[in-house]
Structure 1
Amino acid sequence: MSEADERPRRRQARGERRITQLLQAAASVFCALGYTASSTNAIAREAGVSPGTLYQFFPNKEAIAIELSAQMIKEMEATHGRVFTPETARLPLDRLIDEVTEPFIEFNSANPAFLALIKGSDAPGRVAEEHDVLHNALLERVTELLAVRTPSLSRTECALISEMSFAMFKTGLNLVMQHEGAERERYVRELKSMLYRYLAPAVGTEAVPAP
């Protein structure tokens, strides 16, 4: 490959690294200030670049938020693709709860900007729309998991239990994310215990043999 061919590739690689740098800076700023109070100037300062450099890649704060949200949602979708399987559905209930909840707790712990964006009162409409799509997809996957585990339940019953469980998890996750270290672990245990106590009467506690 010639030097002339290499130059565009190097420029593209530098551009991708700069975008990653700006998105990481935006995540930090959104977490610290919230979406509403954040600005492109604050993001540029956090990234160690000039506002002019930022505007080469993103026209405004909204575009940054949309790109950051899209990347995190893509990662979340990959996570729930690995979690909601027939094998997981048939585990003992305590292990099932571990398998389903821990990846999402880990994801939100590693990406606190995800909740910061969702909670922003004036976050871009596209962010809210994409989150609603993700939310509905997760509810559907939980419903399918419950149907595999407990085929005696109707689809309507599975959907109701799924919605209630998901609401419990989201509420508990907000509390988990407000704490650190050992205190966070205590909230995680309490969250799992709450889900166990709610689900046990409906779906049983023992492993379910494969048909």
Structure 2
Amino acid sequence: MSTRPSHKPFRPRKAPAQSRSEATVTSIIEAAAQVLESEGFEGFNTNAVARRAGVSIGSLYQYFPGKDALTVALIHRENRRFHEDASGALTKRSGRAALEYLIGAAVRQQLQRPMLARLLDIAEGRPALRGEVAKSEMEELVAIVVGRAAPKHPRPDVAAGDLLAMVRGMVDAAGERGERDLDDLERRVRAAVFGYLSRSGNA
């Protein structure tokens, strides 16, 4: 009777305990991003990532059991960076300014490293990875911002879900088309978002 490995295949084997090991993990994850950008899924494997990071394959396996664990770690890193940027919306004085800032953060995430963003979007859609990538923090942030921008909306939770889907759909489509003009995309997303809100007299 076979036994399953004790570690989860999509999660790191261990957390770095010292600054040197933290730097190693950081370099491995960035190397994973670079390999994915340059080689796509076809060339994305642990050997290629170890070479790019300048570490042995054994060192990589100390932290990551395979390429799926690397993918999840990379998704977590990008989501964390996006949330840190998007959280700046909460410092804005008006609800409209907060929503505009949130839109800008979404556009920046998609178009600053467009190939990486597109490939991670595909990876996130894999059924096996869905339970490993939580969206609750981002959804909560969007709900707060929409609540400020549209305080009179009769169903703010529905509005938040609609706007999140709208923004994701537009920025993902722009990334797939290879767009590079952040300002133009931001203007179009703002028009769509505030047009939606104005239907209820909330913009």
* Coordinate RMSD, CA, aligned: 3.1
Which residue of 1 is the match for residue 102 of structure 2? 100
Check if 1:119 corresponds to 2:122.
yes
How far apart in 1 are the matches of 2:138 and 2:20? 36
> Who wins on radius of gyration, i.e. which is larger?
1
Q: Which runs of 5+ in 2 are unaligned?
A: 1-16
How far apart in 2 are the matches of 1:37 and 1:153? 48
Bigger CA drift: 115-124 or 97-106? 115-124
CA contact (8 A) 1:105 1:173 kept: yes
Give 1:108's aligned amino acid: Q
Q: Secondary structure at the match of 1:76?
A: helix
TM-score, normalised to structure 2's length? 0.71
Tell me: CA distance 1:110–1:14, structure 2 relative to 1, closer, same or farther (3 Å): farther
Which residue of 2 is the match for residue 158 of structure 1? 156
| Larger RCO, structures 1/2 (Cα 8 Å, 6+ apart) | 1
Query: How much does 1:194 deviate?
Result: 1.8
Give 2:175's aligned amino acid: M
* Cα deviation 1:13-61 (Å, max 9, x = unaligned): 3322222211111012223444475211221232244433422432211
| Higher fraction of helix | 1
Tell me: CA distance 1:23–1:123, structure 2 relative to 1, closer, same or farther (3 Å): farther
Query: How much does 1:86 deviate?
Result: 7.7
TM-score, normalised to structure 1's length? 0.69
How far apart in 1 are the matches of 2:20 and 2:145? 43
Query: How much does 1:114 deviate?
Result: 4.8
CA contact (8 A) 2:110 2:172 kept: no
Check if 1:196 corresponds to 2:198.
no
How far apart in 2 are the matches of 1:97 and 1:81? 11
Q: Which runs of 5+ in 1 are unaligned?
A: 1-10, 206-211
The percentage of counterpart residues that share the same residue type is: 22
Q: Secondary structure at the match of 1:204?
A: coil
Query: How much does 1:173 deviate?
Result: 0.8
CA contact (8 A) 2:174 2:185 kept: yes
Moved over 6 A (4+): none
Q: What does 1:120-159 align with in structure 2 at a 5 Å threshold?
A: 120=123, 123=126, 125=128, 127-131=129-133, 133-134=134-135, 136-154=136-154, 157-159=155-157
Q: How many residues align?
A: 185
How far apart in 2 are the matches of 1:124 and 1:77? 23
Tell me: CA distance 1:148–1:122, structure 2 relative to 1, closer, same or farther (3 Å): closer
* Cα deviation 1:134-176 (Å, max 9, x = unaligned): 2x4433433333334444333xx22222222111111111133
